[in-house]
Structure 1
Amino acid sequence: MALPGYLSIKEAVHDGQSGNFIGVLTHFEAPYKSKGDDWVLEFTIQDEFSAGSATNDSTAFCRIFRRTQDKLPKLGAIGDIVLIRNVMVRTWGSKKHFISNARLHTAFLLFQSKHVPVPELSTGYSEGGLSRLLFTSNIATQDPSSDEQMAIIYLKAAAVPHLAEFQQQSVKRTVEPAPRYNNKKALLQDITLHKYHDIVGEVVKFFSPNPSTIDLYVTDYTTNQDLFLYEDPEEADIEDAEFASARKWPGPFGQMTIAIRLWEPHSSYASSYIREGDIVSLQDVHAKLSQANKLEGALHQDQRYPEKIKICKVKYTKQIEDHKARKAAYESAYAQRRARRTLAQNVPKKPSAKISAKRKEMQRLQKELEQKELEKKAEEEATARAGINPHVRASFPEIKLSTIAEIINNPSLTIQTPEGVEIVLPFVNAKYRTRIRVVDFFPNDLNDFARSMADPNWNTALNEMSGNEQRHDQGWKWGFALLVEDANAPTGTTPERLRLFVNNGAGQHLLKMNASDLKKDPKRQSITQLEQKLFILWGNLFELKQDLSSKGIKFPLPSGDPRLQNMPFDCCIEEYGSKVPKSDYWPYGWQRMHQPMLTVIMD
């Protein structure tokens, strides 16, 4: 039954949101001490049973952190009902995690199943009744209302047919032997083949070979002779230097980096929250041999706790300081080697002219490469600090950002004649750089984002030609519109918004795709690729519009509506005029238009 003020687990789709939930306890573990100072309690709840005993979208994995064990909730038995007030939702792929720490002040109310009556005996617990369900709570909190009591009663009744299966699954998970993880905490210099290790290191490269896995290249600045050798182009032989430079390895050079392949659910988490340059902790990394007969790692799904995430950013000062000390030692030694090379190169000698020229050219190319990498790194760090979408890139980062209001009210639109007469121009040829987010789009069907040039309703030039003049152009071109607003628009307001018309050239640059007939795509490869590209650009806008429009809710939503989850991005915009018939609205016969330019969605 629907309960005001509460969400079903299926409705918990916005990462980072807080909410209230009621669920049946289907599995739990004994509290344990984390690697830091916290105690942790992990359990699983489910709130819907019509589709069977184990539906992924109605199940949530709960993880509670407290400074002392006595502050954790006291759980009872499988089948008990848990009422949760104010818990944070984290989504990784299709997995739902409910997270609580001491700052959230989350209330956990536990109702033992044996004390919850059947619906036929629930009259005294409904509105106006005097009966109260017995419960325990981790903190002082408000007693459950009559609506909450009735929801608990009916939820228990729905779960009863599945309790035996939940109990069997929980016992099986408890008695299954855990993998034997030997020598877990280790530096890269100490890891050994076929062992499981806990590794702390810096992510130097991030690569996604396919949708279900991610490869992280991690270093802790210690050397292991079994790791792959990343050779410094400046130290390589002349014949090999060009190859080493072309690989664009950011460092460190030597055998200090391990490639670790992450599988679900770790890959989804890393894709959302881990970036190059982060210092991360990885648990239970399986050391194995690569196809090149070098040491590499794999992080698979935990067999006992499938929802458990085993990668996170390092927060503990000691680990960070130790890592930075090793990095500083490497950088100091590397700088000294470069200084010695420079000194040696300045010693008079008689190398062949060909070798000397090659060496100088390689040094110049290497310096240019290093400078470009530094500039790219600085830009990425600035992007991360600003909280903008790193997967959408706009040119001319040195140009000052304009707001939507400044674009719409461009003072250059108003000019004055020598006689002092003020004239408002229909448009100006101008280019801007701005920071925006997408709040709506048109047409509503993504299949219509590509237009046929043989369609006179779209290619109106066909209507002005005689039958003999008309060319039967079967080509397709992009043609759609995005409604955007400022990235920092105040919540709850209706700010000035700008419509961006995406023509074929702008669409090809933005999407890195050519238009085609999206409705006649038997394998749906093109429309799937388009959906994935636009998801990067506008987040959950497409799915949200489909869902809410069917309920009569019109778009765009008010600024800051928490249901719309997307990131702002930098965008270059071009203003131009489009010829139209003269009218009262367009007295000069020109329509003012804006389109994105030199902006691209990265793969």
Structure 2
Amino acid sequence: MAPYPSSSSAKLASRKKDLPSGYTSIDGILAETVPVGKLVNVMGLVKDYQVPIATNGKGEFSLVTFYPAEPDMMKDHKCTITIYDKSIELDDELGLAISIFRTLKDMPKPTAGDVLVINSARVQSYREKISLITNRMTSIHIYSASEIPKPPLSAVGALQPSDDKRPPGEKEHEYVSWLYHYTDKESIPDVATFQKNVDQSGHTKDKFCTLEHVVDGKFCDVIVNVVKAPFDEVEKTTLWVSDYTENDSFHKFSWDGAKQLGERDGNSYDYLDTNIRGASKWAGPFGRRSIQVTCFEPHASHVNSEVQMDQWIRIRNLRIKTGSNGLNLEGVLHEDHNFSRRQVDILRLDGREEECDPRLKEAIRRKADYEKLKKKQLKSLYANESGESAGTKRKAETSDELKNNSRTRRKDARQVALNKVEELDRRAEERLDLNDLVKCESQEQPLTPVPSIIEPVSWKTTVESEAVTLTLPFACAKYRTNVRVVDFRPRRLEDFATWRKSTEYDVLSDYSCDSDSESDDDDDHGLRDHHSGKKIWEWRFALQLEDGDPKSKQKDRFWAVVDNIEGQQLTGMDACDLREDPDVLHALREQLFKLWGNLEEAKLQELQRQITKQRRIAANQPPPSSPMNNDLEYSRQEIGGAENKNQSGIKISNKPFACCIRQYGVRVREPNPLRADAGEHHRWVRVFGLFGTKISG
């Protein structure tokens, strides 16, 4: 017997209750009225739960005061929960699947009929089906079905404990009670059936493996990059693929230019046998990183027509065997009557990290590491062959004991400083009347005043037995501080979002392209502005900040850049073409008003004053203070603008707020060799960036 109340009350209920503001009904998502990629808030009853499986993902960096933390190497997991709401209650086959990526300890564990409230999940289309996928901003809250009271009582007592700092509000609590008691529950399995389905979901055999682990006779699923285009051989098709792992049983490909630089056979750059297809003009990857795959019908036709060079593909049930030379492994894909679905899928990359298969993400990361290694090795090879040398090696200046002592001294000094300013920080925040609409993370971190943030960092060392103090170009540091916004760039909000062309590396949030190659790509024949492919819209703007303490004698200011990820967190919005979407532009303006008050209005007034002045000069009008000036309109506008100015040129009214700031360095081109402190023709530039800060509401 089902443990749920009769559904007759739900069917006969005449009273309707609207979804809380900001939430979307499930039928609207499944009907694709919500565009793919948009962040949504939903709530619904749990009808299915698939237990977490490992995905080999990685965690995030944590906030520290001076030094970056090591990455969290705990494996990520994925679970899938299917929910429904009143909009689809009469169709037992319908449900909205939610793919949740988190560490195992953070995974939700709902039971049948529990109500889920999910905020900031992204709509995705996977295998031609609409579903949701979580990201690092997604929050999930569970209301236990057995403890949800009947309306109009609030369901707050049924809310399970959570580490999320953004709990649902009273409107959500009230709607959960109504949703649970007035929704048909025929599609929810009983406790025994639900648990049986959960147990079975954990017994699925995963045949996925990387190429470094394939052996003769093994059938496996692989995610690989096409490194040599398919070659049609009438009844079959061959292609070369790689996932950038190495296998001693693979063919060895070497750089074609090795012998041109005097390399000999037998070393790390030796050539392959000439009977291997594609060895003469092999573009990479070099070494034993690639395997040949032979596809027979019906796969051959599909591969010939759809698969192209440099695409990422998933191959299922690939048979590994020893090739005809008796030495190297190769892959074979025959027709498999046990597989009703296609065995070769093209993996689309849309630049969203949270929607990318973590196994594909790791493969792309390996490719990025390989490209950097190859570039470094070839550069070193050219330098050695041309007689260049890096000079004699320097001897170590300090011993391990000295390093440890230095580290200990810095640690002790920081601890003393933290204890001294902790009480001062608390008092300062009380009297500043901070903007409570802006929140920042890591409240336990001590406050750092702006003058200390922008002060150049000195480093004491010893050179030839003499103490020397060096001024570093930048420091890798993170701070929490109280500031107010006094200016922004670009000048217009419409330009706060910009676009770039999509690449496969977009799925790696921590990947940083080489500055040289990046600039070369951007300026490729001047075609960037005319790019006709897929455009990735990103937030890219900067805020000028000053110390939030009105009693501070030093009104030091600095610019803090806001990148795409931090722009999403700050505004709670995804970037788009703001010139084509006035509704999003209006919403952005309303959000930023909470951050900087009348700053935009004051800047517009200043701009209007400048335009008026330019018109006066163009019309040969005298200055407003001149007794010869009879043009009251020009005089009134210019004098009014001047009265509205403060030290920065504009008069603003806004509250200070708490935020997190990080300092880092970027390499820029530098033709002057005396200033090139970041390698040949490059120098370091110190940059500040905003992070971990959010405008509420």
TM range (shorter): 0.3 to 0.5
Bigger RCO of structures 1 and 2 (CA < 8 A, at least 6 apart): 2
Give the TM-score, by structure 2 length: 0.35
**TM-score normalised to structure 1 length:** 0.40
